[in-house]
Amino acid sequence: MAKLRQLKAKRIVIKVGTSTLITPNGKVNLRAIDQLSFVISGLVSQGKQVVLVTSGAIGVAMNEVGLEQRPKAIPSQQALAAIGQSRLITMYLERFTTYGQNISQILLTYDVLKDPETRQNALNSIEQLLKWGIVPIVNENDTVSVDEMDHQTTFGDNDQLSAKVAELINADLLIVLSDIDGLYDDNPHTNPDAKMMEEVHEITASIWEVAGGKGSKYGTGGMQTKLLAAQQMLENSKAMVLINGQDPSRIFDVIAGIPVGTLFQKG
C-alpha cells in the first residue's frame, strides 16, 4: 500500500478548468458540475473552508448562443463572458442547493488584488463568507479584464488567479483540476512512455524543459501556467496538487493523503 501524503488542508482553493466543465463537443458537462458541488459540499460538512476558482463562462455562453468557434474580437469575448457567467453561477447554485450548501460569487481583476485597499476589501469579504460556511465561487471579471487597457487588469489565466487567491487567503492547499493526470517527465500526448512525477519539491530548469518550456505549444496556456501557480505556492511554503478533473471525487483522495496526481510541496 502506497504511503499516505502528509498534507495540511484546513483551508483549500480548488481550481476547475474549462476542459473539465465543457465536453469536447462544446456541451456543458453537467455531471462534472454536480460532482464538484457534491465534493465541495462534503468538504465543508467536514469543517473545511473551500474557495472554488472556476473557468468556463465563455464556453458555457458559446453553447448557449450556438457558436462552435471562440471569437477573436475582444468585445465578442466580453459579451460571451457576461452571458456565460450568469448561466454558470446558476448551474452551480442549483447543484450546491441540492446538497444544502450556500454559495456566493466573486469576480476579480488583477488590479483589485494589486491595490492594497481593494485587496483588503476582497479578503474581508472572503473571510466573512468562509466564517459563515459559505463557498465563494471566484472567476476573473472577463467583461472588463482586457489586455488593451492602460493598466493591467488580467491575471492571464485562472491558474494564476487561483494561486493569487490562495495567497490572498493564506490557503494551505491549492488543488488544480486539469485534463491531464499530473506533471510528466515528457509530453504524454506525444510520448506514450512518459512517466508522471508523484512529487515535486522544487521547480527546476529541467522541469520547465520537460513541461514544454516557455513559449512552446505544449507549455503555453497549459502546463506552463500550472507550473507558475505551483511555483507561487512553493514560494509561500504551501502545497499544490495537480489532478485530472474527469472525476472530481478524487479530491476526496487528495484530502485523505492518497497519492493521486502530482504533489508540489517543499521537501
Q: Are 240 and 264 in contact (CB under 8 A)?
A: yes
Radius of gyration of the chain (CA): 18
C-alpha span between 63 and 88 (Å, rounded): 12
193 known member of a binding site: no
20 known member of a binding site: no
- Hey, what's the cell of 56? 468556463
Alpha helix (H) ranges present in the chain?
A: 18-21, 30-45, 57-65, 74-98, 110-114, 116-131, 158-168, 205-210, 224-235, 250-256
CA angle 203, 204, 209 (to 5 degrees): 105
85 known member of a binding site: no
15 known member of a binding site: yes
97 known member of a binding site: no
Name, in order, each residue with C-beta under 8 angstroms of 100's C-beta and a sequence gap of 6 or more: 41
63 known member of a binding site: no
55 known member of a binding site: yes
Q: Which amino acid is at 232?
A: Q
226 known member of a binding site: yes
162 known member of a binding site: no
158 known member of a binding site: yes
End-to-end CA separation in angstroms for the chain: 21
206 known member of a binding site: no
Residue with cell 469543517: 47
223 known member of a binding site: yes
Q: Which amino acid is at 88?
A: L
Name, in order, each residue with C-beta under 8 angstroms of 229's C-beta and a sequence gap of 6 or more: 15, 159, 160, 162, 163, 174, 176, 240
Residue with cell 466580453: 78
Residue 135 has phi, psi (to 5 degrees) of: -90, 115
118 known member of a binding site: no
Q: Which residues are annotated as a binding site for substrate?
A: 55, 142, 158
Q: Which residues are annotated as a binding site for ATP?
A: 15, 178-179, 220-226
Q: Which residues are annotated as a binding site?
A: 15, 55, 142, 158, 178-179, 220-226
